[in-house]
Chains A and B, each alone.
Chain A
């Protein structure tokens, strides 16, 4: 197993990091709370990278770590992590699959839940039992109901397909499993990116905040928290890269690796967001501090594409099969 990034991968990561630092500062994420339209200039840039959705999962996940780090609003994850890998189509899109229970598996319910960014993509791939996929043009607002979550950086909708003629193309089981493994790895990549942002803020605060005449980061109680947060993050990041490599190789272990990656990312994000705000103390609890923008993203992502517990249960199904 060789984790060495290629020159191309290093360049991709650096380019996106710089782009997002410039185009997606915390101020943009904050402005998006009340005005979803502010993401458009950023999307003009990120749109140039949608081909990542048909390329190697490893490249795609490295890019998603950066958009997660910036808590970037817009349909980037929906397109390169979900829609494009499923359809091969590089038009901005999203995927509708979960039913009322919120489980991201094929079902025959007409109302699809947790459809990401549905009002600002051009197409929606509806996954039907089989599994099979029907691609529709984005419908009007009468079929899309926004669902508020704690995260202001990501928009979530219910899509009502009642009465729509869905021309579904059957999907081979192996291809579907490979797609969902890639989708789990993709959101997990964004989650470790967001968690890295929060850990960075906590570290910065621990170095600069003085109490009792010394930086609070010199206290062992704070150091041990940060060491454990950092371990959780490094572990989850490695699990995401491994999952992406198994997808690229079509390895038989790919679903196990993807469930492990989403669960590891969920654990890391939860630990880091809780201890991250604890280390910040009172200032992190304020609306004007930027920390909550990232805490919100990290909190909500754990519930998308399967919770940590759901992924562990599916992993157990495979271990005890």
Chain B
């Protein structure tokens, strides 16, 4: 156990830092606010699309992959250093995560040759992907999805509805979970299809969320024809792919989650100074508790990484999503409390904070719901980590 990585790994960090110093676009240098949201109306601004391509071309998009996939074959430790550095500097990798974070690894693991050939464009961001998972009646119970794909000779016919589909408005392709065998037990009748979003019969309705932004959508499929070769993996073998894609999401996200939480705690310290609450013993103790949480969560993330790098399963990672999402929400609440009577004011000319704490609080509601709610995370910890029997 030691604080520092080896000299080769520190050299890797230095090379990355030099690259970022030279190439980071001015829009990214300004940095997202502490919730990681960029201002502006575009769902994915052009500068961010260009930046993802630049990262890819220099082998800094997914550094663990080979150069043809936007990487440099780096080690797992170096990948961690990469994620840590990007998060510390609040430099985004992409404006649309599904393509590089979920679709690319899934295509590489489960796709045939033609499908694997789609991976580089997905990782570079040239192709924008959305993921068709949740449905109105299939949220936490994802395996209950009903969107039907009927195999008719050389093609499928798809009918149904997806919801909470991020980036559907601008996506070129959908990585879509469909029911191909309604008679089978629910986990055994699911398949994955690649669906071109310009196919006839697809309707996308933007879904405005609680903060009045619309970066996700409902997607309706009516008799959409999908060629049979767009089936990813075996027919009715899609459930294994859902498990895989979520694993990709979890393995890398804790660093960013923790870094964002640490940045929020830093902002709380500054806020307390500005509002004079740094003299209030109750506020001081609560901020210190948030700092303690940040310190221990970062340590837990690294501890999990150490088990993972040694090849054992890393139960620590199952805790991270639950802990960081709940911690973030509580920290924004504390920020609102430090604003006193102005906690709910969003008027930019009234109150020092222009509503950034209350707005972040509202945005953070999504974090304990999306990608596996906190309740589902606790079920996973209890059953898969602690080995308790299913109810």
Question: Are A and B physically bound partners?
Answer: yes
Query: Is A203's CB under 8 angstroms from B273's CB?
Result: no
Other-chain residue from B269, B382, B385 in contact with A320 (beta carbon distance below 8 A)? B269
Which bucket holds chain A's interface residue count?
35 or more
Size of B's binding interface in residues, CB under 8 A:
50
Other-chain residue from A58, A244, A251, A263 in contact with B289 (beta carbon distance below 8 A)? A263
Other-chain residue from A1, A4, A235, A259 in contact with B3 (beta carbon distance below 8 A)? A1
Q: Does A29 contact B (CB under 8 A)?
A: no
B315 contacts which chain A residues (CB < 8 A)?
Answer: 234
Q: Does A228 contact B (CB under 8 A)?
A: yes
SS class of chain A's interface: helix, strand, loop or mixed?
Answer: helix
Q: Does A23 contact B (CB under 8 A)?
A: no
Q: Does A6 contact B (CB under 8 A)?
A: yes
Q: Does A18 contact B (CB under 8 A)?
A: no
- Given contacts A223-B382, A249-B3, are A235 and B297 in contact (CB under 8 A)? yes
Tell me the residues in window 374-391 of chain B with beta carbons closer than 8 Å to chain A beta carbons: 375, 377-379, 381-383, 385-391
Assembly CA distance A231 to B310 (angstroms): 21
A217 contacts which chain B residues (CB < 8 A)?
Answer: 382, 388-389
Q: How far is the CB of A149 from chain B (nearest CB, A)?
A: 25
Query: Is A235's CB under 8 angstroms from B300's CB?
Result: yes
Query: Is A230's CB under 8 angstroms from B386's CB?
Result: yes
Q: Which residue on B lies nearest to A229, using beta carbons?
A: B386
- Given contacts A3-B1, A220-B391, A242-B299, are A234 and B292 in contact (CB under 8 A)? no
Assembly CA distance A90 to B101 (angstroms): 53
Q: Does A124 contact B (CB under 8 A)?
A: no
- Given contacts A245-B2, A319-B269, A320-B269, are A257 and B295 in contact (CB under 8 A)? yes
A–B complex contacts, Cβ < 8 Å, 24 sampled? A4-B1, A4-B306, A58-B1, A207-B389, A218-B388, A220-B379, A220-B391, A223-B379, A227-B377, A227-B378, A227-B379, A230-B319, A234-B319, A235-B300, A238-B303, A239-B296, A242-B299, A264-B292, A313-B285, A316-B284, A319-B291, A320-B269, A320-B272, A320-B278
A positions within 8 Å CB-CB of B: 1-6, 9, 58, 203, 206-207, 214-215, 217-220, 222-224, 226-228, 230-231, 234-239, 241-242, 244-246, 248-249, 251, 256-257, 259-261, 263-264, 309, 312-313, 315-316, 319-320
